[in-house]
Amino acid sequence: MNESDKSGTTHFGYRDVPTGEKQKLVGEVFSSVARNYDLMNDLMSLGIHRVWKRYFAATAQVKRGDRVLDLAGGTGDIAALLKPRVGETGDIVLGDINGEMLRVGRDRMTDRGVVRGLDYVQCNAEALPFPDASFDLVTIAFGLRNVTDKDAALREMRRVLKVGGQARVLEFSEVKPEWFRPLYDFHSFQVMPRLGRLFANDADSYRYLSESIRKHPPQDALKAMMAEAGFDRPRYRNLSGGIVAIHDGYRA
């Protein structure tokens, strides 16, 4: 389900834009929010994003000595959680299309004293610069919804996986309890932009992030996309009533 249509347009939040422009627009958003990204995540989710990420990493199929690719690696949260699991003999590659986010991640990992076994690569998830079958685990947390051609990114994730390897997607999804949806909408479209203006002087970027969540394929649609991309045994698990979901797939 490529999100661009025959007219050559795609969505950027609730706006239709030329397909070729989305990458640039998304890049501007993340360059703007990079320095305040963790602070804003804490404020917007009341810190729950850290619980989601810990669970995502703790339940990943990974062991000592494995090689991991963390796409949309951003500020390094997922890599920091996975590094103890791959150990001194394992390697993690942080990949992000946005250079500013990647610099923030590298600086923060260095500040934590996590240096060995880490590489940083500025790359597009739709065309990964890695050989086939080169990673035991590929992760992408809160990044897939910002990719223009999600189908291409999923195919690339599968391509670079070793046989038996796992791909994991952590992403905002479709809230399931009907009673909670109005509260969630109020938080997304009224509270988040105001927090963005107050703490980051940037309401528009956080409005886009809220809109991008609503335009992202819901759980069953993304599961079907992973199957179409060639993943074996695609499945998902909802967290916090479907505010986010973890999707898994394997390379057979």
Place 226 in a pLDDT band, splitting at 50, 70 and 90. very high
Q: How confident is the model at residue 112 (pLDDT cuts 50, 70, 90)?
A: confident
Please give the Cα distance from 61 to 41 (Å, whole number). 26
Domain ranges of the chain: 21-176+219-250
The span from the first CA to the last CA of the chain, in angstroms, equals 22
- pLDDT value for 213: 83
What is the C-alpha separation between 148 and 155, in angstroms, rounded? 14
- Residue 114: pLDDT band with limits 50, 70, 90: confident
CA torsion angle for 36, 29, 2, 210 (degrees, to 10)?
60
State pLDDT tens for residues 165-180. 999 999 999 999 999 9
Q: What CATH superfamily classification does 21-176+219-250 receive?
A: Vaccinia Virus protein VP39 (3.40.50.150)
Mean pLDDT of 177-198: 85
pLDDT value, residue 6: 44
Q: Answer for the pair 144, 153: CB distance below 8 angstroms, yes or no.
A: yes
Amino acid 28: pLDDT: 67
pLDDT at 27 over 70: no
pLDDT band per the 50, 70, 90 thresholds, residue 223:
very high
Residue 4 pLDDT grade (very low, low, confident, very high; cuts 50, 70, 90): very low
| Percent of the residues in the chain that have a pLDDT greater than 90, as a whole number | 60
Give the ranges where 138-202 is alpha helix by DSSP (H).
Answer: 150-159, 181-186, 192-200
Angle at 167 between CA 65 and CA 174, to 5 degrees: 140
Q: Give percent of the chain with pLDDT exceeding 70.
A: 87
For residue 25, name the pLDDT band (cuts at 50, 70, 90): low
Residue type present at position 158:
R
